[in-house]
Every structure is written in C-alpha cells, then in structure tokens.
Structure 1
Amino acid sequence: MVKDQLTQIYTQNELSCMATYSIKAVYHKLMGEQSAVTWDKIVWNRLSIPKHRFILWLAMQSKLQTTAKLAQYGISQSDMCLICADAKEDHKHLFFACSYSKECLKQFKEWTSITSASTDLQQLIRNIQNGRRSKFQKQILLVGLAALVYLVWNSRNSSYWQQSIPSVNYVVKHLKAHTKARIWAVLPKKLSTKDYQWFNEL
C-alpha cells in the first residue's frame, strides 16, 4: 500500500500537515539531499556534435561500460585497460591517466594553448569554465574536449571490436577536423573580431 510506504518516510505529523499530495515532494524526500550538478550546461553545449555530447554526458557520470565496470558485473574476465593494458580501465584512467589518452590530451592542450596541468576530466572542465577567456573561446575548448573524450572512447572500442588502436596523431588530426568543421557550420552570427581571428588561426 502507498499509504504504508509513506509512513516509512514521513512522520504522522508531516502527513497530517500535507494539504495535497505532491509527487515532487515525495520524490525529493525519498532521494534526500542531492549535490547540484554544475556541468550540465557545459556538457550540453549547443556547439558540440550531438554524439560527442552524449558520450561526454555518460563519462561525466562514470556511466560508460569500461572493462572495470564489466568485470564487476562478471561480464568481462579482465578489468585492464584495452588501450594500454597497464592499469584498471575506469573513467579516471581513460580520461586521462592512460598513457595514450594523456598524450592525446597533451597535444590538444598544445593546439588550444591550455595551460592547466590537470589530467582529470572534471577538473579540466572546471578550469576551462573558470578561465579568463571569452565565452566563445571557452565553448570552443569544451567542443574540442568533448570530441577528445568521444575519440578516446572510440579508440577503446576499436581495440575491443577491431583489435586495432588508432594512432595518437590520427586521433588529434580528427579532433581538430571535427572541432573546426562543427564550429564553421554553427558559427554564431555575433562574434567579435578577436574571437573570429583566434578561431580562424587554430
């Protein structure tokens, strides 16, 4: 009975004071205090390629089916990284502690002049978000980072399904191409000369 379940989470006094039943109120009561998500607007950056957004969204929540997760479920016999085979393949490792993804990230930073030394995905996003660049430039960096996460995940899947791993140069080349092609296709009409020149020179 619903009434019996409600008495498990509400006191009798709380129930008697509830003028009307609210699904929202009961849901929040069941879930308890939740930390606010601060990266949702960043992940769903309209300039990003949709499939890149989706993979980044999963990565930010540690929802990708890594070998570490599959091994935990008993689906995979190994939890080792399918790219470098040097450590357990979890989200922290893939983005970007793995020697392969770390080198991809290094070249991405060199291309975009990101000075942050961090190799942690969430910290990188915070650093970009809090940086002194223009809103447009921050959006471009996040488009590139989303593309990088997607391409690293794609390389990991290629290792599993095709038993081949694209070179770092291949990943970085496609990262640049995807980012530039996407932005040229959806370039904002109102853009400062400085931002236009910065992007054009990337």
Structure 2
Amino acid sequence: MKHKIGNGRGTFFWWDNWAPRGPLSTRFPSHILTDRGFNIDIKVDNFIFNSTWSFPHCIVSAIPELLSLSSPNSARNDKMVWIASPSGTYTLKSTSAFLIGQQPRVPRQNLVWESPVIPRMKFNLWLAVQSKLPTLDSKSIAQHENICVFYRAQPQTHDHLFFKCCFVSPLWRFIKQRGHFYSSITNWDDLIQYTSNQWKKNTASNLIRKICFFSIVYHTWETQ
C-alpha cells in the first residue's frame, strides 16, 4: 500500500509509505528529524503550505528525493492506493501479475479450468497434467516401492498410471471408440496436448468427452 498525498493530514512523514522510494524510516536514521527539532510522529501536512511543499533546507539536504515530489492537493484527503494495480484498487489478477509477472496462458488452461466438472476433479487433473500428483516415483518416503499398485510389473509414473496401466487402458479404448478423441497417441503428455487443442469449443460432444476424461483420471487416482 502507498499513501497518495492530498492535504497530508492522514500520513505520518517518517513512518508511512508515501515518498518516491518508500518509507523514510527504513532508509534514513531518525536523528535527521530529531536533531532538527521535529517530532518523530509528525504528519506530512506540517510540510505543506498553500498546496505547495515547504520543507526546511536541513531536511531536503538530508533527503534529496523530496525535491522530486509532485505538488500536493490540499483540497482532498490523503488516499491509500494498491501499488500492484494500475487503478490503485486491489485485484487478485493485478497482484499476481505484479508478483510473478505476466505469464503466457498454457494450452491446458481450457481443458482443466473451463470444464463443467466438480472442483476436486479439476484440481486433481491440474496436478496430473503437471505430473505433480504424488505417484510412487515422486514420493520421498523410502519405504514405498516405485511399483504400480494395479500392475506390479511396471513403475508407477503418471504416464503409466493414467495411460498405459492395464487398469485404465480398457477405459481409454472404450472412450476412444465412443468419443473418437484420439488415435495414435503414445503417452500421457501427448494425450494432454491433444485434448487441450482439440476440445477448445464447448460443444455438447466435447463436454461429454471432458467429463469422461476427468472421471477416468480422478477415479484412477482415487482407486490407487
């Protein structure tokens, strides 16, 4: 948060975030004020006269950035603004962009978050498409074998569990025959890429395919 100065009555000169480079208290020693006879809790309005800044030379010489301040507006009160938002109003989107920067939208966004399924299935698939579900190959607990719980001849990876396992393969074949949604795909990552690209339109057939897809992944994971 940052104080946008109006008449200066609602902002502490030393403590609040109003100066161009942030709170003065975090960057300067307090004796800059006290040695010159000013109270540490002085308000900004003490340095405003007729809507212009009126800093003593001793203060400006110690804090030169005060010379670059735009003129205050004594006709209005001070205002708190959200730095991360261009409008000054808090939004989750602007804050996220401020913290991590603008990120390109990944193709799977349409598949995962714009599908008409219950939230826990969306969250489950969101982890699965990133290979973030705790399959045995990603678990750090030493006593777990890295072996599929359904087909013990194979390691339990995302690719095996959700695509190649003998438990789930018949389900994919059934959906393929009824839904015609993939042909020569050979691994889990390619399946995600294909479905993300092919199911962008919210047609009735695509919605049914998405529901089937989410259900297979969710119940396969729940069963194991």
TM-score by length of 2: 0.49
Choose from 116, 126, 133 the match for 1:64: 133
1:133 and 1:28, CA in 2 relative to 1: closer, same or farther beyond 3 A?
A: closer
1:112 is aligned to 2:197: no
Q: Quick check: 132-141 or 58-67, which moved more?
A: 132-141
In structure 2, the CA distance between the partners of 1:119 and 1:56, relative to structure 1 (3 Å rule), is farther
* Aligned mates of 1:99, 1:80 — CA distance in 2: 13
> Contact (CA 8 Å) 1:129, 1:138: kept in 2 or not?
no
Instruction: Find the aligned partners of 1:124 and 1:143 in 2 and give their Cα distance.
Output: 15
C-alpha displacement of 1:76: 3.5
2:144 aligned residue: 77
More helix per residue = 1
Unaligned 5+ residue runs, structure 2?
Answer: 1-82, 85-94
1:82/1:36 CA distance change after superposition, 3 Å: same
Q: 1:77 to 1:116 in 2, by over 3 A?
A: same
Does residue 154 of the first structure (1) align with residue 222 of the second (2)? yes
Give the C-alpha shift of residue 125 in structure 1: 3.7
In structure 2, relative to structure 1, the CA distance for the partners of 1:117 and 1:75 (3 Å cut) is same
**Distance of 2:193 and 2:207 partners within structure 1:** 13
Bigger shift: residues 40-49 or 113-122: 113-122
1:77-127: CA deviation from partner (whole Å, max 9, x where unpaired): 311111111211111111202122122211121222334231433422433
Structure 2 residue 109 is the aligned partner of structure 1 residue 40? yes
**Which of residues 110, 113, 119 is equivalent to 1:50?**
119
Q: What residue ranges of structure 1 are gaps of 5+ in the alignment? A: 1-20, 157-202
Greater relative contact order (Cα < 8 A, sep 6+): 1
Kindly indicate whether the alpha-carbon contact (under 8 Å) linking 2:147 and 2:153 is maintained by their aligned counterparts in 1.
yes
Match of residue 206 from structure 2: 138
- Alignment partner of 1:98 is 2:165: yes
The amino acid across from 1:110 in the alignment is Q
Distance 1:80 1:138, change over 3 A: same
Local SS of the residue matching 1:143: helix
- Residue matched to 1:173: none
Structure-1 separation of matches of 2:190 and 2:170: 17
User: Is this contact kept in 1: 2:111–2:195, CA < 8 A?
Assistant: no
8 A Cα contact 1:80 1:89, kept in partner: yes
Kindly indicate whether residue 190 of structure 2 is the aligned counterpart of residue 123 of structure 1.
Answer: yes
* Aligned CA distance change for structure 1 residues 50 and 119 (closer, same or farther; 3 Å): farther
Equivalent AA in structure 2 for residue 79 of structure 1? N
The number of residues matched between the two structures is 136
More strand by share: 2
Q: Is the CA contact 1:128–1:141 (under 8 Å) kept in the aligned structure 2?
A: no
**Conserved 8 A contact 1:95-1:120:** no
Identity of aligned residues (%): 26
